[in-house]
């Protein structure tokens, strides 16, 4: 079974792939990107919840740090959720200019967020939670999105 770090990092890459496909679709027509955008938003939401409802909680319980990196990551999740909502609205409104403005912003926010998680938080989580790694990955894998 993959480690927490591998599991969540791979999930980042999956989201990146769909994001790129969505932009490619939108370049042809916003209509054709609608489905991909919905898939992307759903995958992202699932990833956020795997972190917020499972991994972050385990990490916070283990280390006692509730105001540290996880709080910062939760805040950036909020920022991204707002942007994704606007992204879907831009598709519905057929506003291509707005869509690409938002997607560019989301892209950079997302990538620097991923980097912080992959370089630091996941490494820390793996160190603190190595004994429970399999159980946590399993819980994330079987999570039902709320």
Partner 1 sequence: MELTGLSIDQAPPIAAPLRFFLTAPLFGVLAGVLILMSDASVLISRYSIDSIIVTHAITIGFFAFIMLGSLTQMLPVLASAKIVRVKGVTLVSYILLSVGLLCMILGLKFDIKLFITLAYLMLGSGFLILILSILYAIKGVSHFTATIRGMLASMIFALMIVLIGTVLLYEYSNNSISEYHYILANIHSAWAIFGFSGLLIIGVAFQVLPMFYVAPKFKQFCKRRVVFLISIGLVIWLFLNIYAEEYALYAKLWIVTFFWAFATTVWLKFNRRKRPISDVTVLYWRAASIFLTLGSFLWIFDEFFKHEYIVMVAILIGGGFILSIMIGMIYKIVPFLVWFHLNAMGYMSIPTINEMIDKDLAKIQFVIMMLSLVGFVFAFYMPKILMPSAVYFIISMLLLEYNILAPVFIYKNTKKREPDFDMSAFS
Q: Could you list the residues that contact partner 1 (CB under 8 A)?
A: 16, 19-20, 23-24, 27, 63, 65, 68-69, 71-75, 78-79, 82, 98, 100-102, 104-105, 107-109, 111-112, 115-116, 119-121, 123-124, 127
CA pair distance 61, 76, nearest whole angstrom: 21
3-state secondary structure of 89: helix
* Smaller CB separation from partner 1, 71 or 93: 71
Burial code (b: 16+ CB inside 10 Å, e: under 16) for 57-94 equals: ebbbeeeeeeeebbeebeebbeebeebbebbbebbeee
Question: What is the sign of the dihedral through the CA atoms of 56, 61, 63 and 67?
Answer: positive
* Smaller CB separation from partner 1, 1 or 71: 71
Taking the complex as a whole, the smallest distance from the CB of residue 7 to partner 1 amounts, in Å, to 18
Taking the complex as a whole, the smallest distance from the CB of residue 85 to partner 1 amounts, in Å, to 10
Helix extents (H) in 50-95: 56-63, 69-92
Taking the complex as a whole, the smallest distance from the CB of residue 69 to partner 1 amounts, in Å, to 4
Taking the complex as a whole, the smallest distance from the CB of residue 138 to partner 1 amounts, in Å, to 25
CB 99 within 8 A of CB 26: yes
Going by the DSSP 8-state scheme, the letter that residue 52 receives in this structure is I
* Smaller CB separation from partner 1, 127 or 142: 127
* Smaller CB separation from partner 1, 3 or 105: 105
Taking the complex as a whole, the smallest distance from the CB of residue 94 to partner 1 amounts, in Å, to 17
* Smaller CB separation from partner 1, 23 or 41: 23
């Amino acid at each position: 079974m993959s480690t927490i770090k591998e599991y969540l990092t791979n999930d980042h890459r999956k989201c990146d792939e769909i994001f790129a496909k969505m932009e490619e679709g939108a370049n042809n027509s916003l209509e054709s990107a609608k489905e991909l955008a919905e898939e992307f938003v759903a995958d992202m939401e699932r990833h956020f919840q795997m972190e917020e409802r499972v991994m972050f909680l385990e990490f916070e319980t283990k280390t006692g740090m509730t105001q540290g990196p996880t709080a910062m990551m939760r805040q950036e999740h909020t920022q991204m959720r707002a942007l994704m909502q606007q992204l879907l609205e831009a598709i519905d409104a057929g506003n291509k200019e707005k869509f690409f403005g938002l997607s560019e912003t989301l892209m950079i926010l997302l990538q620097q967020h991923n980097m912080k998680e992959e370089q630091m938080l996941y490494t820390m989580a793996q160190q603190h939670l190595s004994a429970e790694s399999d159980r946590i990955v399993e819980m994330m894998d079987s999570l039902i999105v709320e």
